[in-house]
Amino acid sequence: MAKTAFLGLGVMGYPMAGHLAAAGHDVIVWNRTEAKAIKWASDHNGKAAATPVEAIRGADFVFLCLGDDPDVLVVFDAMASEIRKDMVIVDHTTASARLARELYARSAEAGAAFIDAPISGGQAGAENGQLTIMCGGDAEPFSRAEGVMDAYGKRMTLIGESGAGQLAKSVNQICIAGIVQGLAEGIHFADQAGLDIAKVIEAISGGAAQSWQMDNRWETMRDGHYEHGFAVDWMRKDLRIALDTARSNGASVPLTAMVDQYYADIQAMGGNRWDTSSLLARLGRSKG
């Protein structure tokens, strides 16, 4: 079993670190709010560190699951003095490919490996150990980390060199944005036309219109319940990263830009913490 450190115990990180402990790995955790780390240690018979540098001391694998580029950089700087040869640092934060490449280079200077490994599957995926993990970096350290990430991942794919995992996550979020908007408009159309939404979904979900979002979100959308997944604030952060990258690489993503502004409308409605399916709310279907 591996000696691991897990830094960042949000709605995703807390259960992910728990799966590592349940799989028998030696886990020490750190969180900006220390009380949460102490609670995790109590829940999982583990250990909590007061600082990032204390958490990673002697670790073979270091996992980060934080908020955004600035958060990752602050924590990386704080733990830099303990980064050592053959350590594998895996960043599960959805951050920029630019930052991933910077931290890959800094890790390499110390003889360590850095893998950008953003995740998809939401809180339920983290709790059930069924996350999809998109990775960028070198094959050998990825192979080592893969056996540890298996504790909470159902699919781990090395996309390419450093930064490729973050770019793949942007692809994921671009696709989701368009699918959810299409589903919202479809439900809105059915409602306005006086159709039985449940029967419509039953009819079309077995065909080309089917999607994970349709299968898992149509009913809560119909009922105006938006407390079931990834928050609008976080989706806007991810779309900002995707749109910034598109501007730099010349990709044309007009639908993504439009849906990003629709999410801004949701924020203006007070829906910052609603899940991403709340796109329906701006079309006139009230929140339940």
Catalytically active residues are 169
For the record, the structure tokens of 185 come out as 């408009």
Q: Which residues, 6 or more positions from 262, have their beta carbon under 8 angstroms from its beta carbon?
A: 181, 279, 282
Measured over the CA atoms of residue 29, residue 34, residue 40 and residue 46, the dihedral's sign is positive
Structural contact between residues 233 and 271, judged by C-beta atoms closer than 8 angstroms:
no
Chain position carrying tokens 């105006």: 224
E strand intervals along 49-191 = 61-64, 88-91, 113-116, 119-120, 131-136, 153-160
Structural contact between residues 65 and 13, judged by C-beta atoms closer than 8 angstroms:
yes
Chain position carrying tokens 């583990």: 46
Angle between helices 97-109 and 69-79 (to 10 degrees): 10
Longest dimension (CA), the chain: 65
Measured over the CA atoms of residue 27, residue 33, residue 36 and residue 42, the dihedral's sign is positive
Chain position carrying tokens 């979002």: 213
Nearest to 92 by CA among 65, 52, 123: 65
